[in-house]
Amino acid sequence: MTAVLAAPPLHRDRRRWAWGLGGLVVLGWSLAGAGLFSGPVLNPSGLRQFGRFAAAALSPAHDAEFLRVLAEATLVTVAYAALGAALAVVLGSLGAVAVSRTTWGRRRAGWTAVRGVLAVPRGLHEAVWGLLLVNVLGLDPWVGVLAIGIPYGAVTAKVFADLLDEVPRGGYEALLASGAGRGTAALYGLLPQAAGGLLSYSFYRLECAVRSAVVLGLIGAGGLGYQLALSFASLRWEQVWAAVYALAALCVLADVGGRAVRRRVAEPRSADGSRPARDRVLVVAGLGSLALVAWSWWFLALSPATLTSARTVDQLSYVLDAAWPPATEGDLLTAIGSAAVDTVQMSVIAIAVATAGAVLLSGVAARRPGTGPARWAAGLAVRLILLLLRAVPPPVWALVLLFVLLPGVLPGALALGVYALGVLGRLVAEASEEVDGRPRAALRASGAPPLGAWLYGVLPALGGPVLALALYRWEVAIRDTVLVGLLGAGGIGVLLSGRIAAFDWAAVTTVLAAIVLLTLAVDLVSERARAALR
């Protein structure tokens, strides 16, 4: 008698359902907290000004004097980005050896403690570092460089350490056996093998540093962000759009250059695959980056003596003395709790908006071979729109939305959502390009319309990657909420900005600690959710 093998019963993962329903409940709670169900949120009187802003997109400022100012501001932004990214790579390379699981071996307690210390600079947005450093260094170019380099260095150290832990350990263990120290063994036994991944991520950090340099300009560090803020404050919309287009062009150059380098790093071998090839593009990119760093140092006229001057030391000592012990008044803690709730609600709404928009646009934005001219043109237009969305910093979107929305959590949330849509839209479109196209092709061959083929042939396969990307982006969004808050759009950033303006350093310490704990909590929840949804 032949045994019949029964198919395993379908198992409904209760954890997935719990996380999914929980996410919907949190979203509803966030929308209610933003006032969407309790009263008016629109500001009809601002529609005319918003119309002027939108109409100016077709006629950006192009007079010679303003273009000269814009070009100089662009150079300042590039210099900040280059030096900040270079500092981040140096700090990340040094820190990676200190936080790598491989170099710590079985000493898990020490590894956990070092990783915990690293989470502090990583948990604070670059704009927060900028505001803090301004109070120590004044309006010195070092503010922009350090504000990018310190938090990016902490992030880079974590990523570099993870890359080091992935490479074979034979050379590392051989060096240890010969008597070398752990640091030396990691330097010569692990770093060379991970060089490709390290180089690729370094150029990705340079792309991100361009956007961070723009954000720092909004708080007075100079560059394109500063020029954008000045034009916005004076309601010169033609100048605003000229700065936006300059930002978009800069982001395009950074994205294209970084992607070209990462593509070359992914396939670095010669045609026969026998040995690494000397890729001219990588050589030029490396030498060009070094030249850019040297030029940036000269252009910004950085002086290391500034960091150790008597004024800097005295001001740092004053701030540290005034910042400890942290303030623990009941009113402050209550205000922090309320602001933290607003911050979480802003981030949840932002990611919901960005995820929905990214899914809807991914079918058009994805590059597919064999498409007609109309489909190609539509895809190009959507990708350019996504580029503009992520080129403009979230605070600028918040100021624009305040024309048509009443002040509160919602403008900040939607501003973050618009910005995150620019990022998620690109990532989800790229994920859509990687999906197996056979189900979609089969549906099209059977007579299904393009939309139906995408809904049933592509969208189900995108579910896992989209949720993972959305949760990763939520971790970033919780930090960006502090940024829009610093410029008055709500959340815990408003509280921090007020305390810094009042030089209440003890309260600033408490608020900063709350921000770090909040970001760590969101990181933990996001990690657990990703694990449950796999």
Same domain, 307 and 358: no
Q: What's residue 10's pLDDT?
A: 44
Which tokens is 67 given?
Answer: 């273009």
229 in the same domain as 98: yes
| Residue 406 located in a structural domain | yes
Question: What does pLDDT average to over the chain?
Answer: 80
Structural domain span for residue 76? 61-270+278-313
Same domain, residue pair 66 and 191? yes
282 plus 349 within the same structural domain: no
CB 122 within 8 A of CB 148: no
Is residue 385 within 8 Å of residue 360, measured between CB atoms?
no
- Compute the C-alpha angle 412/416/418, nearest 5°: 115
Indicate whether 231 belongs to any domain: yes
Q: Are residues 266 and 353 in the same domain?
A: no
Among 61-65, 98-102, 207-211, name the one with the lowest average pLDDT.
98-102
pLDDT of 154 higher than 80: yes
Give the pLDDT of residue 487: 67
Round to whole Å and give the CA distance between 524 and 194: 27
Question: What's residue 126's pLDDT?
Answer: 86
Average pLDDT score over residue span 529-533: 73
What CA–CA distance (Å, rounded) separates 462 from 424? 13
Residue 200: inside a domain, yes or no? yes
State how far the Cα of 36 lies from the Cα of 511, in Å rounded to an integer: 28
Same-domain pairing of 230 and 130: yes
Burial zone of 352 (CB within 10 Å; 0-12 exposed, 13-18 middle, 19+ buried) = buried
How far is residue 469 from each of residues 393, 430, 474, measured CA to CA in Å?
20, 11, 9
Is residue 269 over pLDDT 70? no
Give the count of domains, the chain: 2
In a domain, 353, yes or no: yes
In a domain, 10, yes or no: no
Rounded mean pLDDT, 89-110: 72
Q: Which two tokens stand for residue 198?
A: 């390290």
From the number of C-beta atoms within 10 Å of its C-beta (0-12, 13-18, 19+), residue 419 rates as buried
Q: How far apart are CA 110 and CA 252, in angstroms?
A: 42
Residue 268 in this model has a pLDDT that exceeds 70: no
Q: Are 417 and 353 in contact (CB under 8 A)?
A: yes
Angle between helix 170-177 and helix 182-189 axes, rounded to 10 deg:
140
Non-local CB neighbours of 158 within 8 Å, separated by 6+ positions:
99, 115, 118, 122
Q: Is pLDDT of 6 > 80?
A: no
Those residues whose C-beta lies under 8 Å from the C-beta of residue 27, and which sit 6 or more positions away, are 348, 349, 352
Give the C-alpha separation, 3 to 365, whole Å. 50
Q: Which of 334, 339, 338, 319 is nearest to 500 (CA)?
A: 319
Do 489 and 411 meet the contact criterion of CB atoms below 8 Å apart? Answer: yes
Distance, in Å, from the CA atom of 350 to the CA atom of 344, rounded to the nearest integer, reads: 10
Location of structure tokens 């005295």: 314
Contact assessment for residue 433 and residue 507, using Cβ atoms and an 8 Å cutoff: no
User: Does residue 4 lie in a domain region?
Assistant: no
Evaluate the CA torsion angle 340, 341, 344, 345 in order and state its sign. negative
> Between vectors from CA 56 to CA 53 and to CA 61, what angle results, nearest 5°?
125
Instruction: List, for residues 111-150, the tens digit of each pLDDT value.
Output: 667 667 777 787 788 888 888 888 888 888 898 899 999 9
The answer to whether 349 and 413 are in contact (CB under 8 A) is: yes
pLDDT, tens only, 334-380:
988 988 888 889 899 999 999 998 888 887 777 776 667 777 888 88
Q: Would you state the pLDDT for residue 182?
A: 67
Q: Which two tokens stand for residue 410?
A: 């919602």
Residue ranges of the alpha helices (H) in 167-279? 170-177, 182-189, 195-216, 224-233, 237-266
pLDDT 10s digits, 398-412: 878 888 887 778 888
pLDDT of 278 > 70? The answer is no
What's the distance, CA 213 to chain centroid? 12
pLDDT of 5 above 70: no
Token pair 């100089």 is found at 72
374 and 401 fall within a common domain:
yes
We report the CATH number of the domain holding residue 95 as 1.10.3720.10
Whether residues 414 and 516 share a domain: the answer is: yes
288, 390: one domain:
no
Residue 11 scores a pLDDT above 60: no
164-178, 340-354, 455-469: which is most confident? 340-354
Q: Is the predicted pLDDT of residue 392 greater than 90, yes or no? A: no
What pLDDT is recorded for position 266?
61
Are residue 99 and residue 203 in the same domain, yes or no? yes
Q: Per mean pLDDT, which range of 71-80, 108-117, 266-275, 317-326 is the poorest?
A: 266-275
Q: Is the pLDDT confidence value at 394 over 90?
A: no
Looking at the domain assignment, is residue 88 inside a domain?
A: yes
Residues 381 and 239 in one domain: no
482 found inside a domain? yes
Mean pLDDT, residues 72-83 taken together: 90
Question: What's the pLDDT band for 19 if we cut at 50, 70, 90?
Answer: confident
**Residue 150 and residue 232 share a domain:** yes
